């Protein structure tokens, strides 16, 4: 066997090493994204449940609206509508679990995106006064 006979085997090993490195980079990217979100929250604990009248969800919701271009889906007055606020609090908690938990897997984030889709559909239903298109005019609920 000559050195040139080993080239395919060596290339195969390098390919596997590259794939492993790529997967580690994806995990790190996800963790960095979480740190950026946390920084935007001014160091507040992401796991704290949002209370009524508590605006701690606001930075995360702003990030969500910007990141996923949801300005036409989530009304600006979301905090004044308890069902929408509750949906967003649940989404936030699930997002923390999907990206911030050291035990989380890539599939958790995929599941979160599927949950996001369902949640957005419910948010459209909860927005009975069409605040997202007409602006907030009715009572808080």
CA 103 to each of CA 12, 44, 100, 134: distance values in angstroms, whole numbers, following the listed order: 30, 21, 9, 42
Residue 131 in the binding site for Zn ion (CB under 5 A): yes
- Which one, 78 or 112, has the nearer CB to Zn ion? 78
Q: Which is nearer to Zn ion, 64 or 131 (CB)?
A: 131
Among 38, 122, 124, 136, binds Zn ion (CB under 5 A): 136
Residue of the chain from 77, 94, 111, 120 that contacts Zn ion (CB under 5 A): 77
124 binding Zn ion? (CB under 5 A) = no
Alpha carbon distance 101, 69 (integer Å):
25
Calpha distance 112→107 (Å, rounded) = 9
Residue 73 contacts Zn ion per CB under 5 A: no
Stretch that binds Zn ion, among 5-13, 33-41, 55-63, 130-138 (CB under 5 A): 130-138
CA–CA dist 27, 29 (Å, integer): 5
- Nearer to Zn ion by Cβ, of 50 and 131: the residue is 131
Contact set with Zn ion (CB under 5 A): 77, 131, 136
């Amino acid at each position: 066997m000559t050195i040139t006979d080993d080239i395919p085997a060596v290339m195969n090993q390098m390919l596997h090493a590259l794939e492993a490195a790529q997967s580690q980079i994806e995990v790190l990217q996800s963790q960095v994204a979480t740190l950026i979100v946390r920084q935007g929250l001014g160091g507040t604990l992401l796991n704290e449940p949002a209370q009524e009248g508590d605006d701690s969800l606001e930075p995360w919701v702003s990030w969500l609206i910007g990141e996923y271009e949801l300005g036409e889906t989530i009304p600006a007055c979301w905090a004044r509508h308890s069902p929408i606020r509750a949906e967003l609090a649940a989404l936030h908690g699930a997002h923390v679990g999907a990206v911030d938990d050291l035990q989380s897997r890539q599939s958790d984030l995929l599941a979160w995106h599927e949950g996001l889709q369902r949640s957005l559909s419910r948010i459209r239903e909860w927005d009975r006064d069409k605040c997202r298109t007409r602006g907030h005019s009715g009572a808080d609920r």
